[in-house]
Amino acid sequence: MVGSRYAFGSFVLDANAGTLVRRGVPIPVGYRGLLLLEAFLKRPGEVLTKSELMDAGWPGIAVEEGNLTVQIASLRKLLGPSAEGLDWITTVPRVGYRFTASGTAAATLESLLPEAPPSIGVLPFSNLSEDADQAFFAEGLAEDIIVRLSRLRWLFVSARNSSFTYRDKALDVKQIGRELDVRYVLDGSVRRSGQRLRISATLSDTSGGRQVWAERYDLGLADFFALQDQIAESVIAALEPRLLAAEHQRFISRSPDSLDAWGFVAKAMPYVWTWGSAEEMATAEALLEQAIAIDPDYPRANSLMAWIHAARVQLGWTDAREMLVEALAMAQRAIQRDAEDPWTHFAAGYVHMVSRGFDQAVAELSEAIALNPSFAFAHMILGSTYGYGGYPEDGLHHLDVAARLSPRDFTQSANLATCGLCRFIGGQFAEAADYERRAVELRPNFGTAWRTYAAAAGMAGDRTTAARALEEAKRLHPSLSVEWVEQYHPIVRAPDRAVYIEGLRIAGLK
C-alpha cells in the first residue's frame, strides 16, 4: 500500500506491519509511538498541534496531555540524534511538534530498504548421555546460548518456545529455516560422563543447508559456563566478525556461583511457563527452591520464583497479597544483582501487572524488551498489561509482535487468551469469546482463559456457553467469586472490571 512505508535517515517505518527498523535491526517502539511517528511522516516539516497528535495517537480516546509528552520523549530516545546531531522531533512552544526530516514514501522505497539483519534459531541440543535425566544439561546449554545471543541488537533470535518445538525431531535445516524464518540454525549435542562433558555444535546456513561453523569440546564440568560464552562468541564471529569486539562484553552474562544451582533452574524451566496444573507449578517451585538454597542471589532463579508466586495469585490458587509482596522483592533483588538480564525486568513487570501496577509493569517490560529485542514472551506479557490497563489496541500490537517473533510458540494458547482479553476490553464480546474458545481447546486447564470465556460469552448473550465456561473456571479456581474479581483480577480500571463482573454474573457467578 503506497504511503504505508517510509524511510528517513537510517530508519524504515512499515506502518502496516507495525515495525520500525534501523539498518535492518528492529527498534522496540510501542503502538502509540508508531501511530505518532506515522502522523509525523505523513506531514514532514509541518507543525502538528498537540490536539492533532493526540487524535492520531489515541483515536477516539480522551487522554491527558502528559501521555503525549511521555510518548514524544520515548520516541526521541529511541531515534537518537539525526546525522546532523539534531533531534528528529522539535518542540514548537505552546503549539505542538515538528518532524524535521522528510520521509520517503513506499513508492520509491524499495531501493532504500536495508538488508535484513542476520537471524538464527537455536535448537535444543541432543542428550547423548546414557542417563536420560541429564537432558537438562543439553536444553539448559541451548537456553543460555539463546539468552546470550538475544542481547545483540543486530541479531534476530527466534524465541526459545518456537525453536524448542523441534526437540527430538530429525528435520532438514532448510525446512526449519523456512518455518522459523531464520537464516541460520545452531544445533548440537551433549554427552556427560561423570565430571566430563563432550559437546558438539554446528552452525548451518538454512538457504542451502551448508555448514558455516562446527566445533567439538571436551571439558570438565567446572568449565561449563565459560564454554557457553565461547560457543556464543564463535557463532557471532561466524555471523558478523566486525561487530564481535564491540558487542562482546554486552552478551556475557553473570553466571551463578554454583553449577548445581544452574542445573536446578534448567530442570525447572519446562514447568514454569505452562500455566497448567498445580502439580507442574509445584514441581518448578521445588526445583527453584533448591537452586536458591544453593545460591540465594542467583538472578534467574529469583526471577522465575517471582513469576511463579505472581502466577499463583493470577490463577486464583492463593489469595495471599503477601505473596505478591514477596514476589516483587525477589524480582527486585534479581535486578540489583544483574540489571542487564532481561529476565529480571520481565519478572518484575509481570508481578506489577498482576498487582495492577500498570505504569511500573509497562516500564519494566519495556526495559526487558530494550535489553532483548527478540524477547517474544515479554511482548506477550506487555500485551496483557496493556489489555488489563484499558488499552486493547496497544495490547494487540504487542501480541502481533510476539506472534511474529515466535511463530511456533507452545504458549500460543496464552497469546490467544490475551487477544480475547483485549477484544473483551474493547467491547468485542463475541470475538473475545471465540479467541478464548480457541485458547482452551489448546489448553483445557487454562483457568484465566475459562474465566474470560465465561465473561465474554455472558456479555455476548450466549448464556449456555457462559455457564459451561464458568463451570470449568470454577473447577480450576474453586474460590472464584465476584469478591475475588474485585480484589485480585488484574483489570485496572473499575468500569472495565464492572463489565467483566457483569458477564460473569450472567454466566451464574455470585
DSSP assignment of 19-40 equals EEEETTEE----HHHHHHHHHH
The type of residue at 406 is: S
- Whether 142 and 242 share a structural domain: yes
Distance separating alpha carbons of residues 453 and 466, to the nearest angstrom: 7
- Whether 42 and 160 share a structural domain: no
- Whether 202 and 310 share a structural domain: no
Q: What is the pLDDT of residues 447-467, one digit of tens each?
A: 999 999 999 999 999 999 999
Residue 505, C-beta contacts closer than 8 angstroms, at least 6 positions apart: 458, 482
- Whether 332 and 414 share a structural domain: no
The answer on pLDDT for 242 being more than 60 is no
Mean pLDDT check: name the lowest of 20-24, 33-37, 162-166, 291-295: 20-24
Numbers of helices and strands, H then E, in the chain: 22, 14
- Name the residue among 26, 407, 413, 409 with its Cα closest to residue 179: 407
Q: Which residue has the higher pLDDT, 95 or 277?
A: 95
- Whether 100 and 24 share a structural domain: yes
Overall size of the chain counted in residues: 510
- Whether 261 and 240 share a structural domain: no
The reported pTM is: 0.74
Please say whether the beta carbons of 56 and 39 come within 8 A.
Answer: yes
Residue 445, C-beta contacts closer than 8 angstroms, at least 6 positions apart: 276, 277, 476
pLDDT band at residue 506 using 50, 70 and 90 as cut-offs: very high
Q: What is the 3-state secondary structure (H, E, C) of 164-227?
A: HHHCCCCCCHHHHHHHHCCCEEEEEEEEEECCEEEEEEEEEECCCCEEEEEEEEEEEHHHHHHH
The answer on pLDDT for 169 being more than 90 is no
The mean pLDDT of 1-9, rounded to a whole number, is 66
The answer on pLDDT for 11 being more than 50 is yes
- Residue 254 is predicted with a pLDDT of 55
- Whether 266 and 249 share a structural domain: no
- Whether 128 and 201 share a structural domain: yes
The answer on pLDDT for 140 being more than 70 is yes
- Residue 309 is predicted with a pLDDT of 93
Mean pLDDT check: name the lowest of 11-25, 78-92, 247-261, 431-445: 247-261
- Residue 354 is predicted with a pLDDT of 95
- Residue 186 is predicted with a pLDDT of 87
Among residues 84, 112, 140, which one ends one of the domains? Answer: 112
Specify if 403 maps to a domain.
no
Please state the φ and ψ torsions of residue 98, each to the nearest 5 degrees: -130, 140
Core vs surface per residue 299-326: b (16+ CB within 10 A) or e:
bbbbbbbbbbbbbbbbbbbbeeeebbeb
Specify if 214 maps to a domain.
yes
Q: Which residue has the higher pLDDT, 161 or 240?
A: 161
The answer on pLDDT for 109 being more than 50 is no
- Whether 107 and 164 share a structural domain: no
CA distances from 38 to 5, 98, 282, 422, 457 (A): 9, 13, 47, 23, 36
Q: Which residue has the higher pLDDT, 196 or 330?
A: 330
Identify the CATH number of the domain in which residue 153 sits.
3.40.50.10070
The answer on pLDDT for 82 being more than 80 is no
The type of residue at 254 is: R
The answer on pLDDT for 376 being more than 60 is yes
- Whether 97 and 128 share a structural domain: no
Q: Which residue has the higher pLDDT, 14 or 104?
A: 14
Specify if 378 maps to a domain.
no
CA distances from 354 to 321, 361, 490, 499 (A): 11, 9, 5, 19
Q: Which residue has the higher pLDDT, 369 or 106?
A: 369
- Whether 226 and 288 share a structural domain: no
Residue 508 structural domain = 409-510
Identify the CATH number of the domain in which residue 448 sits.
1.25.40.10
Residue 464, C-beta contacts closer than 8 angstroms, at least 6 positions apart: none
Residue 89 is classified by DSSP as: E
Identify the CATH number of the domain in which residue 89 sits.
1.10.10.10
Q: Which residue has the higher pLDDT, 444 or 241?
A: 444
The mean pLDDT of 430-438, rounded to a whole number, is 96
The mean pLDDT of 265-270, rounded to a whole number, is 82
- Whether 170 and 190 share a structural domain: yes
The answer on pLDDT for 88 being more than 80 is yes
- Residue 327 is predicted with a pLDDT of 94
Specify if 385 maps to a domain.
no
- Residue 249 is predicted with a pLDDT of 40
Distance separating alpha carbons of residues 404 and 180, to the nearest angstrom: 9
Q: Which residue has the higher pLDDT, 148 or 489?
A: 489
- Most confident of the following: 42-56, 87-101, 235-249, 474-488: 474-488
CB count within 10 Å of CB 129 equals: 18
Distance separating alpha carbons of residues 457 and 434, to the nearest angstrom: 9
- Segment holding 448, helix H or strand E: helix 447-459
The mean pLDDT of 470-490, rounded to a whole number, is 94
Specify if 176 maps to a domain.
yes
The answer on pLDDT for 2 being more than 50 is no
Residues linked to residue 218 through DSSP beta bridges, in sequence order: 198
Q: What is the mean pLDDT of the chain?
A: 83
Residue 442, C-beta contacts closer than 8 angstroms, at least 6 positions apart: 412, 413, 416
Among residues 112, 129, 155, which one ends one of the domains? Answer: 112
- Residue 110 is predicted with a pLDDT of 41
Q: What is the pLDDT of residues 192-210, one digit of tens each?
A: 888 888 888 888 888 878 8
How many structural domains is the chain composed of?
A: 4
DSSP assignment of 372-426 equals -TT-HHHHHHHHHHHHHTT-HHHHHHHHHHHHHH-TT-TTHHHHHHHHHHHHHHT
The answer on pLDDT for 213 being more than 90 is no
Grid cell digits, residue 320: 495471599
Residue 215, C-beta contacts closer than 8 angstroms, at least 6 positions apart: 200, 201, 231, 234
Q: Which residue has the higher pLDDT, 306 or 124?
A: 306
pLDDT band at residue 424 using 50, 70 and 90 as cut-offs: very high
Specify if 472 maps to a domain.
yes
Among residues 347, 373, 399, which one ends one of the domains? Answer: 373
- Residue 102 is predicted with a pLDDT of 55
